[in-house]
């Protein structure tokens, strides 16, 4: 198909979509109508168009600089369909423009012939959970120092075994697009030094750590710490994460045991943006029933992250997540037209960390289970936030405007200031009023782009 024919075809589709209520949703969220394809054995015409679609001009921070085109310039030799872990790992490598279609369920704990692996298969011979618990029980080890010695060293080797199997590095100039209801399970997409990357239309499930670390010095009671995000963006610029669904699958943290009086935490972030990453747009995703959802910024150390971590969050759904939606350090982060559904499993939504500059505009909040508006924001050494146009319902009350900043400041000291110090300009979509946001996010998440 010639480029002119492709452009004309897209214009016709958009005109047809615009004539219906469904079309309004499609245009607001960036989703696209499903288009019949003539080749049932591989990516169809519409999937191929989506795979070569760059981020639109002005669509958030990832449109800045050189913009984000991913693998749109890939030649035929660098277009792949991955159906298992080994195919996916091979397809993602290299710096040349590439398109990687994902088909079916790609499971990091299955071999290419479909055989299942377990945590025991990845464990170092010197490690078992039983031996670890016996050695580092606070009644035996104490609480003054973190674990060390042969069994801790064996755990570290076990972690390396799992990382080699389940953490897949994404090269620069890459588009990863799920076909149909494609799912990545027990895997981490590691975008590290991978500039100009697009990830769309994928279900991400259960990047569980087989070998969490016990740290008795973490907090007053100690904590279990896990590795592995579902998507991790590090040292990367111009990244677009769009129309994906992130969850713990059928292995939620609420089902995990308690050891040493603390929950055995096996999941880390859903989509973390850290280590000097910059110019990122996270759009029309669904984050559901996960605890530590999105960390923006590596640590409180004033250094390389300063002036970076510029991120846009638009038209995402945060459904029943516990915290970090997002938690921000240093970055100028634009959070507009997102839906937050807050329930019992909850700490806070937006964490204001050191030198953070968060701009919250026209977001919708549904607060249930006795959760009050003052809990939406949390102080992590932040000083100010711009908040405007928040709308929603608290408990069984009537929907209406919410002033989250005023609610926080009434309940807490010191107060947050009301000016984050900047105003977003990179927005391809005019923000809807807060009351309309749930409508605009109905087509967020994986499986909504019509890619077959």
- Find the farthest-apart pair of alpha carbons in the chain and give their distance in angstroms, rounded: 72
Contact in structure between 138 and 61 (CB atoms under 8 Å): no
Site of tokens 């002033």? 403
Which residues are CB-neighbours of 120 under 8 A, at least 6 positions away? none
Cα 99 to Cα 75: distance, rounded to the nearest angstrom: 9
Cα 419 to Cα 434: distance, rounded to the nearest angstrom: 20
Which residues are CB-neighbours of 187 under 8 A, at least 6 positions away? 85, 88, 106, 107, 108, 166, 167, 168, 204, 207, 230
Which residues are CB-neighbours of 286 under 8 A, at least 6 positions away? 244, 245, 246, 316, 317, 319, 444, 445, 446
324 catalytic per annotation: yes
Which position among 213, 324, 329, 375 bears the catalytic label? Answer: 324
Contact in structure between 288 and 245 (CB atoms under 8 Å): yes
The count of other CB atoms within 10 Å of the CB of residue 393 is: 15
Cα 169 to Cα 189: distance, rounded to the nearest angstrom: 6
Catalytic residues: 324
């Amino acid at each position: 198909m010639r480029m002119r024919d492709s452009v004309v075809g897209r214009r016709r589709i958009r005109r047809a979509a615009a004539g219906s209520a469904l079309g309004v949703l499609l245009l607001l969220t960036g989703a696209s109508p499903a288009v019949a394809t003539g080749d049932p054995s591989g990516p169809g015409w519409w999937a191929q168009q989506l795979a070569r679609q760059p981020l639109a001009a002005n669509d958030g921070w990832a449109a800045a600089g050189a913009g984000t085109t991913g693998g749109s310039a890939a030649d035929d030799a660098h277009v792949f369909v991955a159906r298992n872990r080994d195919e996916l790992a091979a397809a993602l490598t290299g710096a040349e423009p590439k398109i990687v279609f994902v088909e079916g369920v790609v499971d990091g704990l299955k071999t290419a012939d479909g055989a299942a692996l377990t945590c025991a298969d990845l464990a170092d011979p010197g490690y078992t959970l039983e031996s670890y618990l016996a050695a580092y029980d606070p009644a035996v080890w104490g609480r003054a120092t973190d674990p060390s010695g042969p069994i801790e060293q064996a755990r570290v080797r076990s972690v390396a075994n799992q990382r080699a199997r389940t953490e897949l590095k994404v090269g620069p100039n890459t588009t990863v697009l799920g076909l149909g209801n494609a799912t990545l399970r027990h895997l981490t997409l590691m975008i590290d030094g991978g500039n100009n990357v697009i990830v769309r239309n994928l279900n991400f499930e259960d990047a569980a750590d087989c070998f969490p670390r016990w740290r008795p010095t973490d907090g007053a009671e100690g904590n279990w710490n896990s590795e592995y995000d579902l998507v991790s963006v590090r040292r990367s610029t111009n990244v677009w994460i769009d129309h994906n669904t992130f969850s713990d699958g059928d292995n939620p943290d609420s089902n995990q045991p308690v050891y040493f009086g603390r929950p055995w935490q096996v999941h880390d972030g859903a989509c973390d943006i850290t280590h000097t990453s910059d110019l990122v747009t996270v759009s029309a995703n669904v984050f559901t029933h996960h605890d530590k959802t999105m960390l923006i910024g590596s640590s409180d150390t004033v250094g390389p992250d300063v002036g970076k971590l510029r991120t846009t969050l638009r038209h995402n759904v945060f459904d029943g997540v516990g915290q970090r939606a997002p938690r921000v350090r240093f970055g100028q982060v634009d959070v507009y037209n997102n839906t937050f559904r807050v329930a019992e499993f909850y700490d806070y939504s937006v964490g204001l960390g050191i030198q953070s500059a968060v701009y919250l505009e026209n977001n919708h909040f549904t607060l249930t289970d006795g959760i009050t508006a003052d809990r939406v924001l949390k102080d992590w050494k932040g000083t100010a936030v711009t908040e405007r146009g928040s709308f929603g319902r608290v408990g069984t009350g009537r929907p209406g405007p919410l002033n989250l900043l005023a609610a926080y400041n009434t309940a807490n000291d010191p107060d947050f200031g009301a000016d984050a110090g900047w105003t977003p300009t990179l927005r391809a979509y005019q923000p809807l009023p807060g009351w309309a946001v749930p409508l605009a996010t109905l087509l967020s998440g994986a499986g909504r782009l019509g890619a077959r």
